[in-house]
Amino acid sequence: MNNRKNNPLKPNYPDEKEMSGCAISGIMSEAGNCFSGREIIDSIANMHERSNGLGGGFAAYGIYPERSEHYALHLMCADEQARKAAARVLERRCVVHDDEPIPIRPMDSITDRPLLHRFFVDVTEKEMEKNYELDEEDVMVQIVMEINTEVEDAYVFSSGKNMGIFKGVGYPEDIGRFYRLDEYDAHIWTAHGRFPTNTTGWWGGAHPFGLLDWSVVHNGEISSYGINRRYLENFDYHCTLRTDTEVVCYLFDLLLRKHGLPAEVACQAMAPPFWSEIERMPERKQKLARAVRQVYGGALLNGPFSVVVGHSNGIIAFNDRMKLRPMTAARKGDMLYVASEEAAIRVVCPAPDELWYAKGGVPIVGKLKGKEHGEQRQKSTATEKEMAH
């Protein structure tokens, strides 16, 4: 380890634990229409008091239409030395089409920032031949994990196609202006305002957490983090960002992309019914619920949480089974809104067509018309109806 001073990627941990509020918000056009980041900034700013300035962030989908075929890797690095080390990994395993600093708007409230850089890449044919048993997304996951575990003071915090994560230490509305998100248009936006619980606020620990096109914002605490992390290590996922929410992102990639589960079943694995509830289910539903709990015990998320997950073709939002964290949802035409508080929806959609409060463990699923995540997933209509009850 080196002795670099004023390193934003080496947080100082506090002596006392602070309990949290945290705010989450998501907005999407199911018709795929792009809209400015100003709306999501206004929504999350409405919940300012749920944050304490130690973390904010956004995920945006559809922002790189001219480079939509390339992986957009967003990196935070302590300095130029770390950036060059990460670039060497990418140049060895990828074709780098372009790279540039991530545009920012300097602000007095955003200090001690790392070097923020983005690369647009494709996996080389040589890498694919060497890893012939894997698909391209698996190889990209390998590359992200290599940088995050082996390159000192450099982290890939966004790695999807035609999407990007923008996060840091500060209030979320300041982070949004810092990254100039009012200049971006996207068809899906998610946002987070952080009030850390068990870990301090630092740039890598801000939400969203991302892998490929998955992004996760979370309010609450994953007390099963240790078990979830060890479970994921069996599948070559490595948690490096010292925040419990990271496991949720990797679990979605594992259960939906790699195992091909429907969103409803994946959410049931992470927030399953109690055994006493399963025993009262009809035989068919009981059989499915028992199988999910037995096969995916390591994926169970314990503790209070509400989560909004973004991916290229939609949003998935859900609570823990006891609903210990709030979540509100609304629709207006083709627009879907989810947020910690109703006020955060009404500030951007004053008169929704429909407004409701999420049920514990039952996901709210928004999809772009005619699309779903992962072509390999073949959903059973009967199963989807069963999972909704």
pLDDT over 70 (residue 17): no
Quote the pLDDT of residue 2.
Answer: 46
Phi then psi dihedrals of residue 29, to 5 deg: -100, 110
pLDDT over 70 (residue 357): yes
Quote the pLDDT of residue 103.
Answer: 98
107 sits in the region (left: phi over 0; alpha: psi -120 to 50; else beta) called beta
pLDDT over 90 (residue 9): no
Neighbours of 11 (CB within 10 A): 18
Mean of the pLDDT values across residues 120-134?
Answer: 97
pLDDT over 80 (residue 388): no
Quote the pLDDT of residue 373.
Answer: 55
Position 386: which residue type?
E
* DSSP code for 199: S
- DSSP of 131-189, one letter per residue? TTTS-HHHHHHHHHHHHHHHSTTEEEEE--BSEEEEEESS-HHHHHHHTTGGG-EESEE
The answer to whether the CB of 6 falls within 8 A of the CB of 203 is no
Quote the pLDDT of residue 5.
Answer: 53
The 10s digit of each residue's pLDDT in 180-230 is: 999 999 999 999 999 876 677 889 999 999 999 999 999 999 999 999 999
Distance, first Cα to last Cα, the chain: 52
Mean of the pLDDT values across residues 53-69?
Answer: 96
- Domains by residue range for the chain, with CATH: 23-63+162-387 (3.60.20.10)
What is the C-alpha separation between 339 and 190, in angstroms, rounded?
Answer: 9
Tokens 């509400």, located at residue = 306
Percentage of the chain beyond pLDDT 70 is 90
pLDDT over 50 (residue 243): yes
Quote the pLDDT of residue 40.
Answer: 98
pLDDT over 80 (residue 377): no
Quote the pLDDT of residue 282.
Answer: 94
Quote the pLDDT of residue 311.
Answer: 97
pLDDT over 90 (residue 26): yes
What is the C-alpha separation between 188 and 82, in angstroms, rounded?
Answer: 31
The 10s digit of each residue's pLDDT in 288-345 is: 999 999 999 999 999 999 999 999 999 999 999 999 999 999 999 999 999 999 999 9
Give how far Cα 80 sits from Cα of 103, 342, 355, Å.
17, 43, 48
Mean of the pLDDT values across residues 44-67?
Answer: 96
What is the C-alpha separation between 65 and 9, in angstroms, rounded?
Answer: 31
Quote the pLDDT of residue 144.
Answer: 98
Quote the pLDDT of residue 11.
Answer: 62
The answer to whether the CB of 209 falls within 8 A of the CB of 252 is no
SS3 content of the chain, % helix, strand, coil (to 5): 30, 25, 40
pLDDT over 60 (residue 58): yes
22, 77, 249, 267: which one is catalytic?
22
Quote the pLDDT of residue 372.
Answer: 60
Strand partners, 209: 216
Read off the pTM. 0.90
pLDDT over 60 (residue 367): yes
Quote the pLDDT of residue 242.
Answer: 81
Position 148: which residue type?
N
Burial zone of 108 (CB within 10 Å; 0-12 exposed, 13-18 middle, 19+ buried): exposed
Quote the pLDDT of residue 196.
Answer: 78
Quote the pLDDT of residue 10.
Answer: 67
Confidence of residue 378 (pLDDT cuts 50, 70, 90): very low
267 classed as catalytic: no
- DSSP of 245-297, one letter per residue? THHHHHHHIIIIIIT---HHHHHHHHSPPPHHHHHTS-HHHHHHHHHHHHHTG
Mean pLDDT score across all residues of the chain: 91
Quote the pLDDT of residue 6.
Answer: 63
What is the C-alpha separation between 183 and 36, in angstroms, rounded?
Answer: 7
What is the C-alpha separation between 294 and 54, in angstroms, rounded?
Answer: 38
